[in-house]
Structure 1
Amino acid sequence: MKSKDIQKVVKTKYGSGDGPTKFFRELAEAVSLPTIKLWIKMINTTGSITLSSPPGCPYKYRYCEDMKISRTSLQRILRKDLGCMPYKKTKQPKLTNLQKARTIKFANWVLNNYRKDGIKKWLFTDERFFSLDGIYNSQNDLVWAVSREEADRKGGFHEKTKYPGKVMVWLGACAEGLTTSVILENGTMDAEVHINEVLPIALECGDRMLGSDWSYQQDGARPHPHRLTQE
């Protein structure tokens, strides 16, 4: 039920003498009780439910208004004359200037000191947290049905806890494939966990996939440059 329809129902029921609490229950909490009371106050004051709208035209038309041209003309200029296409913003790590400089320095060092065959002997590793609630993509996780009610019956929900648990997973990758994953169920990884649980798996998988001559490549997370790890 759309907001306008709910407003009409509230206005009709209020005219028949029903109270706001009864509206709230009969509408199955489709709208909050304070909102219903606000609408009733509007009815008593103006005789109707009048909601304020943001000033000015919709955001997508403001460029046209500022440039004094029509929306279709602006689209034609962008797409046909300039050859532009709309692209969504992509996510990327937020790096400091120091981190960017170090990354460039490392990349130049690799280019100047290694050939392609040498890099194939590198085992790249990383770890990250995964939520126990799973990953939900509103664009791809769909349920085909003829109605919302049928979709709900087919499991059209993605339940999410208020404070979901997390688990850390370590994984390595190289030119020959992926290592065995290491699931760290006890939380974050420190130097001791890295040495006792991760490095044995990395050594076993590295020797199996790359032979006896290979390099263990890791990022700058705290357990990696730790003194015990380096030893």
Structure 2
Amino acid sequence: MFDIDRIYNSQNDRIWAVNRLAADISGGIRQKRKFPQKVMVWLAVCSKGVSPVVIFENGTVDHDRYIKEVLPAALKFGNDTFGAAWTFQQDDARSHIHAKSQECPDLNPLDYCIWDEPAHQVNWETVKSKKTLINEVKRAVRKVSVDVVFESCSSWINRLSQVKGNYLR
């Protein structure tokens, strides 16, 4: 989810300072609107690159929207990139675990670092509306570093090889 008030996660974004004044000088005060304009974004990544972005301007993604809007983009990207020899991986997002969605392939996000890339590529000074947010997200996705994507894929493969047992969730 991207909104026009920039990226800020109160659980992850920390400022270390000796006191509140020093924290505020370093950016500790974050003004946010009560109901900022926002868009939901879907993106696939693999060791060979980044898919075209799918942007949901309104509402949330249920299983019907997922099947109709995301899976065609994902399947096209997979087929164009790998031909017939590729597999989606399932995660537990609500729209992905619906019985109808289970009949279709799915993609598991590799790492949160992938989302960090476009979020930090957005020129937040130009984002003033949903339209400018969408334009900036599209531009930012095109600038995602192939090296970061490859590193994320390599890291995931290394972590997968360490799993013991035969059930992954």
Q: Structure with the greater relative contact order (CA < 8 A, sep ≥ 6): 1 or 2?
A: 2
> Do these two structures clear the TM 0.5 threshold for a shared fold by scoring above it?
no
* TM-score of the pair, normalised by structure 1: 0.34
* TM-score of the pair, normalised by structure 2: 0.45
Give the greater-gyration-radius structure (CA). 1
